Structure 1
């Protein structure tokens, strides 16, 4: 990113902003906190109006061929109608509550204090067992109703009575009849406005044809608020991708605007712009669930995407479920469009089928014949020790990969030796773990762990111009992450646990179906099919949910913990949407 400052004459401000919007490559920055707040308060009225019209649009609604309304008028009418409906719905909710509260007391009207001789009515909910306490008191009262727990008591008194054993009720000044009448009026008004909204929805085709133009107008207003105007001049501050600098430079030179391009200062944080090949773009969306990496870090889209696919497959651990996913993908192929969703579904489906074949599970059934499926069956899900070891190895490699990227990012600096130390620590610990009873491997692993932690201690605080005390303090603080390291690696055991759980559930439902088939004469086949269908459907849904949640969690928490800790903000281009539609 390059920082761009533009200064021009005030009378040319709108023309320049319109031209910059046509270029469509600037990320505008507010020149004051106040202006930024005002700009962020500008809601996307066009998008909201479009959503309202779509909500009001009925299947049998026909477009209005003689429409005389402008898109701006349609937008304003939609917002006004929606606002009135919301106000009336709020009033209706309050009226329904008031009517429900007043109904047990009956329909009555309040008279004036003068006609009441200065007396007032006081209303109480008194528990049944407390009503007897009112008998001996010198006060005028009457029970007007009761429910399963309370008696409805009205006390007549000039001042609020003391010692009434119940909760006082505030019923307002309107009678039940008046409230019911107003409730009916409000319901009728809401119905009329909803009909008006349905009628306005006939203008939807007209509005859709101009929606991007209206959004461009709104975006231009926002840009005007974010620019700075003083005297005869205006100013614009923005971030520009390096690839777009020449195009922007040609624009500002052509209009003879004062402009400065410069590199970001160390204390500045430019917006983060992802640029990936099509096969990696969906990784950006996965990252967006959690955060936008800081501009000065790195783009984890590739690693997150493909490691997520591996984790997802390990959690499902069934090729049969992968085949179901393939069928669903074929059915929904057109609805998924040509975007990232289609590629992600293909990737998850393929990885699930491949891993399911490796562990030899097809709806919880292992292949027994000596064919292709048996040859593909290389891993034994029943061998818990080996499956746990695989999960830990996968976790260790994933965390080491994260540290490896950190080494590359810090290359050329002494501090890069700190993530090298973590890689050595994890790899050596893994060696000692896998070495088992081999004494030499165990000793080699312990030596590696010691050397790795020593590197972490010596180089984690190796900042530029840092004094010795600060460096040692930073190293000591870094060593506290050893518990995080163990915890993060062990977190990958969830791959093993969830995979085993999915396989166990599938097998359990298969066993239940066999028992039903063998134990129930006549209807055994039907009952077995129902058990298989419902059981595997439930297990499939649970496995899909676990795959998404925990597959992403291992990337966005455990993996990010080692190299993507600082959050940034996304690049938002100031551009005209109407040019692309």
Structure 2
């Protein structure tokens, strides 16, 4: 688990070989190009956005058809137009279907009738009113009206009048077509929707040719950008980029075959190379959790492994139920094959395995199974963690202390890592000082709360000593200098760290959300169980209602646990942890590579 070492490569050659060299380097796919001179402008893709829209539409189809041998020649523009015509027709039909369903639902209470032709009632028309039953007495006697239907709340009234103002109540607008006409049109629309769906399925045979066209277009755009990024005149050209050190030999061999010159330079202190993370597949799924918030600088460190473990732990503590974890295991097994079709999918699968494993393990330690406790004396009860004769998760003070201890450990690790990354400067002692402040401050506070004088006697002076280290060694100013100004700036920089004492305190307390969200999940599960039990004891329809409460309630609780586990698990890593361990933000490595496979 590391940030890949890069070298700066510059390729030189005759101008006549420029385009050929660009194509060859694109085939290699190992260079992050560096513009020489002015950065290239944005190049418009040679393939229209309509083609991309058509491909997205076909990819989203639930059924895909494979290309048939002897297929007619591929005409991208014609296929794009045909697919988009199907898409627009399907969207229009779906909108009309939804509108018809609404109009039918509104018209059904009034019955199936046809309105009289225009002028059949003279200057009068039919007006429709949905009137609360208690207000029927307000209907005027000089207007012809009829109640055509009643329910518990409303009367459905039809009146014959010149204007709706004849009845001083709000009228409703109904579709002028009869219920039979609306239902007939709905049936026609549904048939046309079905036809459009199968046209779409038939058109999915063009997915691969469309994707190939788009990949070739993207390759052409990348080639144009590479040409713009190169330096050259009528005689020679130069192309520069960052390459993983392990790929330098491949580029050198490429240049030797074509008679090109190559220079290789290690990154200078003033260079800012891109960041390329490299992790084993079993933890690489957490790279997305890292880069979601920040891309570590090239000279920083790769937090992927730590994030993988801490995110899984936090997720398990927030879901806090072994049975919920087993439900997630079943869901993972259902999608196991689909999550093995690509490397990125397999990496996500490893991450999901870690999340559900920690969820099940923590749920067993908490002794919660759909909010139920295991029978006393059973194997599951013996696997449950007890503290002071009480289940750990039911001892709120103990769980709060555990959550704070996790926060202390997490932020201390962050400062120790920051200290290691600063080992060539005096700021090493400043980060160590923060680690001491966080740990000793916790011990000091714990000793004061539990009336343990030994912890107070150790924690107080250790906290002060750590704060001194922070004040003296948190500056980037040189330590060994005769300049009074540099020493004054060091002290000023150190004094500016004092407000971070409250930040450290707040960040540690942020980890209480692990306890709070886990407790909320457990209490919701217990509440749903109690409601279902009460309904079941009522008998009759209550038995069916109890089943609905159990299924729907626990499904909602699992969904809330998933959301909370992801959001807050990432937040504790990306906000609290990264703020103390990652001070150098970088930018991702973007390889100049070929997308089209043929």
Residue equivalent to 1:532: 550
Q: Does 1:384 pair with 2:396?
A: yes
Q: Deviations over 1:175-234 (max 9, x none)?
A: xxxxxxxxxxxxxxxxxx999999875533434566645543443233223223323222
**More deviation in 239-248 or 206-215?**
206-215
Q: Which residue of 2 aligns with 1:543?
A: 561
C-alpha spacing 1:482/1:34, structure 2 compared with 1 (3 Å): same
Secondary structure of the residue that 2:263 maps to in structure 1?
Answer: strand
> Which sections of structure 2, spanning at least 5 residues, go unmatched?
1-5, 92-162, 166-195, 387-391
Aligned to 2:435: 423
Structure-2 change in CA distance of 1:271 and 1:544 (3 Å): same
Match for residue 27 of structure 2 among 9, 17, 22: 22
Cα pair distance change 1:373/1:475, threshold 3 Å: same
Aligned residue for 1:333, secondary structure, equals: coil
Q: Is the 8 A contact 1:428 1:448 kept in 2?
A: yes
Note if contact 1:8-1:258 (Cα within 8 Å) is conserved in structure 2: yes
Aligned to 1:347: 354
User: Aligned partners of 1:63 and 1:372: how far apart in 2?
Assistant: 56
Match status 1:456 vs 2:470: yes
In the alignment, structure 1 residue 490 sits paired with structure 2 residue 495? no
Partner of 2:296: 293
Deviation at 1:481, TM superposition (A): 1.3
Deviation at 1:484, TM superposition (A): 1.3
Q: What is the Cα deviation at residue 335 of structure 1?
A: 2.1
Deviations 1:228-284 (A, max 9, x none): 332322221100111112221232233332332212222321110111112221111
**Partners of 2:596 and 2:428 in 1: CA distance:** 47
Identify if the C-alpha distance between structure 1 residues 21 and 403 changes in structure 2 by more than 3 Å, giving closer, same or farther: same
Q: Deviations for 1:446-466, whole angstroms, at most 9, x for unmatched residues?
A: 111100010000000143377
Retained in 2: the 8 A contact 1:42–1:222? no
Partner of 1:361: 368
Deviations 1:508-552 (A, max 9, x none): 11111111122x132332222111111111111101100000000
In the superposition, relative to structure 1, how do residues 62 and 561 fare at CA in structure 2: closer, same or farther (>3 Å)?
Answer: closer
In structure 2, the residue matched to 1:281 is: 284
1:557 pairs with one of 568, 575, 590: 575
Q: 2:339 aligns with which of 336, 360, 365?
A: 336
Please state how far the C-alpha of 1:505 moved relative to its aligned partner: 0.6
Aligned to 1:294, the other structure's residue is in SS state: coil
The secondary structure found in structure 2 opposite 1:577 is coil
Instruction: State the superposition RMSD in angstroms.
Output: 3.2
TM-score by length of 1: 0.75
Match of 2:270 among 253, 260, 267: 267
Q: Counterpart of 1:96?
A: none
Moved more, 202-211 or 502-511: 202-211
**Secondary structure at the residue paired with 1:237?**
strand
Aligned residue among 46, 52, 55 for 1:53? 55
The alpha carbon displacement at 1:3 in A equals 1.2
Measure the CA separation in 1 of the matches of 2:78 and 2:233. 32
- Give the C-alpha shift of residue 559 in structure 1: 0.3
Deviates more, 1:299-308 or 1:273-282: 273-282
CA distance in 1, matches of 2:359, 2:433: 34
CA distance in 1, matches of 2:478, 2:268: 17
Cα 1:229–1:404 change in 2 (3 A) is same
Aligned to 1:92: none
* 2:15 is the counterpart of 1:10: yes
Name the CA distance, whole Å, in 1 between partners of 2:593 and 2:556.
46
1:419-442 Cα distance to aligned partner (Å, 9 max, x none):
100010011012123332111211
Do the aligned residues in 2 keep the contact of 1:323 with 1:353 (CA within 8 Å)? yes
Q: Which residue of 1 aligns with 2:146?
A: none
Deviations 1:317-362 (A, max 9, x none): 1111011111111222122225112111111111001001111111
Aligned: 1:576 with 2:579: no
Question: CA shift at 1:63, angstroms?
Answer: 4.9
TM-superposed deviation, 1:557: 0.5
Match of 2:584, SS state, is coil
Is 1:398 the counterpart of 2:410? The answer is yes
Cα gap change, 1:503/1:219 in structure 2, threshold over 3 Å: closer, same or farther? same
Q: Does 1:253 align with 2:256?
A: yes
- Change in 2 beyond 3 A, CA 1:370/1:61: closer
CA 1:83–1:324 in structure 2 vs 1: closer, same or farther (change >3 Å)?
closer
Distance in 2, Cα, partners of 1:224 & 1:355? 55
In structure 2, the residue corresponding to 1:475 is in which secondary structure?
helix
Selected match of 1:438 from 452, 455, 460: 452
How many residues align structurally?
475
TM-score w.r.t. structure 2 length? 0.73
Structure 1 distance, partners of 2:15, 2:39, is 20
1:105-184 mapped onto 2 (5 Å cutoff)? none
Does the CA-based 8 Å contact 1:78-1:200 persist in structure 2?
Answer: no
Conservation of the 8 A alpha-carbon contact between 1:47 and 1:215: no
| TM-aligned CA distance change 1:346 to 1:82, over 3 Å | same
The match for 1:371 is 378
